[in-house]
C-alpha cells in the first residue's frame, strides 16, 4: 500500500509505483510515484477533500478514471450518500457456479453449441426480452415502497430487461479451474433500471446542493444527499432495490445457462457465489457507523468469498477476504482498464488480440470489438499481487468460451 497526501485526508493506494524521470546529472537514489492516470488521481483528490469524507480514500489496484469517482475507488462518508460514488450500473456484480463437468468433457464443438444457445436465449447489448419475466423465481427478493418511485415508474420496462446481459464489459464465460473442473461465470448489473435511478437522484442531489449553496465544487460531479432527507432515504431504498434486481438478473441468466448445459451435455451444479461491486451501505469502520461507497470494488471481510475476474483472455479468481481495515474491507472488482475504449480501438489489432485467445471460443472479430479485448485491461496477475494483503485466491479459473455484451 502507498499513500498520497492531500490537503485534508490521505489517499491509500494498492497501485504500483513508477520511477520519476530525472535529469541526467541527478545522481541521488531514483524517485518513484504512484502509477495512476492524472484524471483518476484528480478524482481521488476531490474525494479526499470532501468535507464529509471519513478517515481516508482507498484506491484498489484496478483503479481508473470514472464519472465523478474513480472506478476501483472506496469512499466512506459521514451523514451523506453520493449517487455518483455508486455509479449508474447499480448492483453490477458477478456470480459463479461450479459444475460436475471436467474440461475434457466439453470439446470445442460442445462449447460452440453452448455459446450459440446462450446467444439465442439471453439478449445482449440494448436488446431485451419481448415479454415480461416477472414470473421467474427470485423476483420476490425485490421490494420498494418509495413514494414517487423511479423503480415503480420503470418496472414495466425492467421486467423485460430481467435476464439480459447488457453491453460493455459484461460477459458470460465458461471456465475451468486448475483441477479442470468446469465453471460458469456471469458479470452483469441492473440494466437501464439502475441508470434511471442513478441519473434521477444525481439530478436531485445537484438541485439540493445548489439550493443550499454547497461548498462542494459542482465540477467534481459529486453532488450529495444528506442522509436525514427524504430524498436520501428514497435513493437508498431504490438503490438497494436495484442491487436486488441486478442479483435477480444474474440468477435468471444463470438458470438459462444451466438449462442450456443440461440440454447440450447434462451435469450437476454447485451453489452460486454472488458479489456486487457498485453500491453504498451502512458499515462500522474505525468504531464509527459510516456509509461506504464501493464503485468498482467488492467487499472483502475476513473469510468472505468474492470474485475477481480478468479480461476475456485471462484468468479470473475466486477469492477469500482478509478483512483489511485500511481498505474498508474491500478489494478490486477485476483487472481494470489500462486504456480507454477509444484508445483500444486505435492501438490494438484484431489479429494481435485474437492470437492472445487461442483455444478460447469467443466473438472478437472486428475493430469495434477491440474495446473489450485483453490488451485493453491491466494484467490480472499484477493486480492480484498488489492486493495480497486484501484477499487470497482460492480458485484460479481460465476461460474456455466467452460471450461479451
pLDDT in the model for residue 4: 85
Q: At what angle do helices 230-264 and 191-211 cross, to 10 degrees?
A: 170
pLDDT of residue 25: 63
Check residue 393 and report its DSSP letter.
E
Strand partners, 75: 57, 293
DSSP 8-state symbol, 121: H
SS3 of residue 339 by DSSP? coil
Residues 203-219: tens digit of each pLDDT: 999 999 999 989 999 99
pLDDT digits (tens, 9 = 90+) for 34-47: 889 999 999 999 99
Alpha helices in 297-340 (DSSP H): none
Q: What letter does residue 140 receive in the DSSP assignment? A: G
DSSP string, 9-59: S-EEE---EEEPP--TT--SPP-EEE---HHHHHHHHHHHT-TTEEEEEEE
- Name 165's bridge partners: none
Q: Are 68 and 85 in contact (CB under 8 A)?
A: yes
**Helices 150-161 and 191-211: angle between axes, nearest 10 degrees:** 160
Look up residue 36 and give its three cell numbers: 495512476
In the structure grid, which three cell numbers stand for residue 394, read together?
Answer: 482460492
Class of domain 2-82+91-338+377-404 as given by CATH: alpha beta
Choosing from 64, 128, 187, 333, the catalytic residue is 333
Sign of CA dihedral 370, 372, 378, 379: negative
Contact 26, 5 (CB under 8 A): no
pLDDT tens digits, 303-316: 999 999 999 889 99
Specify whether 64 is catalytic.
no
Q: Give the integer Cα–Cα distance in Å for 42 and 36.
A: 10
Of 198, 221, 190, residue with least CA distance to 65: 221
Q: What mean pLDDT do residues 6-18 have?
A: 90
CA–CA distances in Å: residue 26 to residues 17, 23, 33, 222: 19, 5, 17, 41
Mean pLDDT of 129-145: 69
Name every residue whose Cβ is closer than 8 Å to that of residue 351 and which is 6 or more positions away in sequence: none
- Summarised one tens digit per residue, pLDDT across range 190-200 is 999 999 999 99
pLDDT, tens only, 383-397: 999 999 999 999 999
Q: Is the pLDDT of residue 281 over 80?
A: yes
Residues pairing with 155 in the sheet: none
What's the mean per-residue pLDDT of the chain? 92
Residue 370 has a pLDDT of 87
Other residues' Cβ atoms within 10 Å of the Cβ of residue 258 = 17
Q: Contact at 8 Å (CB) between 51 and 239?
A: no
d(CA 285, CA 276): 20
**Grid cell of 111 as nine digits:** 462449447
Query: Residues 343-352: pLDDT tens digits?
Result: 989 999 999 9
DSSP output for 226-276: ETTSHHHHHHHHHHHHHHHHHHHHHHHHHHHHHHHHHHHT---B-PPEEEE
59-106 pLDDT per residue, tens: 999 999 999 999 999 999 999 999 999 999 999 999 999 999 999 999
pLDDT above 90 covers a percentage of the chain that reads: 75
Q: DSSP code of 218?
A: G
Q: Quote the DSSP letter at residue 163.
A: T
Amino acid at each position: 500500500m502507498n499513500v498520497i497526501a492531500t490537503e485534508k485526508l490521505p489517499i491509500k493506494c494498492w497501485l504500483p509505483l513508477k520511477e520519476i524521470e530525472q535529469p541526467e546529472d541527478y545522481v541521488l537514489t531514483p524517485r518513484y510515484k504512484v502509477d495512476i492516470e492524472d484524471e483518476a488521481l484528480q478524482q481521488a483528490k476531490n474525494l479526499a477533500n470532501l468535507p464529509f469524507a471519513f478517515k481516508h480514500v482507498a484506491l484498489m489496484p484496478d483503479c481508473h478514471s470514472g464519472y465523478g469517482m474513480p472506478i476501483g475507488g472506496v469512499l466512506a462518508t459521514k451523514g451523506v450518500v453520493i449517487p455518483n460514488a455508486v455509479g449508474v450500473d447499480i448492483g453490477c456484480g458477478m456470480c459463479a457456479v461450479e459444475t460436475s463437468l471436467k474440461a475434457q468433457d466439453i470439446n470445442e464443438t460442445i462449447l460452440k453449441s453452448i455459446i450459440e444457445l446462450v446467444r439465442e436465449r439471453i439478449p445482449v447489448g440494448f436488446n431485451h426480452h419481448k415479454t415480461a419475466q416477472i414470473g421467474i423465481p427470485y423476483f420476490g427478493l425485490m421490494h420498494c415502497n418509495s413514494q414517487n418511485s423511479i423503480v415503480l415508474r420503470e418496472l414495466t420496462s425492467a421486467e423485460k430487461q430481467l435476464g439480459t446481459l447488457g453491453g460493455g464489459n459484461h460477459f458470460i464465460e465458461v471456465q475451468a479451474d486448475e483441477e479442470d473442473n468446469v465453471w460458469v461465470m456471469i458479470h452483469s448489473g441492473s440494466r437501464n433500471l439502475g441508470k434511471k435511478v442513478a441519473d434521477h437522484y444525481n439530478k436531485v442531489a445537484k438541485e439540493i446542493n445548489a439550493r443550499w449553496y454547497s461548498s462542494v465544487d459542482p465540477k467534481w460531479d459529486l453532488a450529495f444527499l444528506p442522509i436525514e432527507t427524504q430524498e436520501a432515504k428514497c435513493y437508498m431504498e431504490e438503490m438497494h432495490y436495484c442491487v436486488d434486481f441486478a442479483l435477480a438478473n444474474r440468477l435468471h441468466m444463470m438458470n438459462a445457462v444451466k438449462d442450456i448445459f443440461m440440454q447440450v451435455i447434462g451435469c450437476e451444479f454447485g451453489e452460486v457465489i454472488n458479489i456486487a461491486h457498485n453500491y453504498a451501505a451502512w458499515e462500522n469502520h474505525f468504531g464509527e457507523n459510516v456509509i461506504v461507497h464501493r464503485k468498482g470494488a467488492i467487499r472483502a471481510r475476513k473469510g468472505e468469498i468474492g470474485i475477481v475476474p480478468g479480461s476475456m483472455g485471462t484468468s479470473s479468481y475466486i477469492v477469500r477476504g482478509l478483512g483489511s481495515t485500511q481498505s474498508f474491507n474491500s478489494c478490486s472488482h477485476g483487472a481494470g482498464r489500462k486504456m480507454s475504449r477509444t484508445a483500444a480501438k486505435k492501438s490494438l489489432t484484431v489479429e494481435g488480440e485474437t492470437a492472445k485467445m487461442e483455444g478460447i471460443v469467443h466473438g472478437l472479430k472486428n475493430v469495434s470489438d477491440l474495446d473489450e479485448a485483453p490488451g485493453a485491461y491491466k494484467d490480472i496477475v499484477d493486480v492480484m499481487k498488489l492486493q495480497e494483503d486484501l484477499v487470497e485466491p482460492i480458485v484460479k479459473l481460465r476461460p474456455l468460451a466467452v460471450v461479451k455484451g
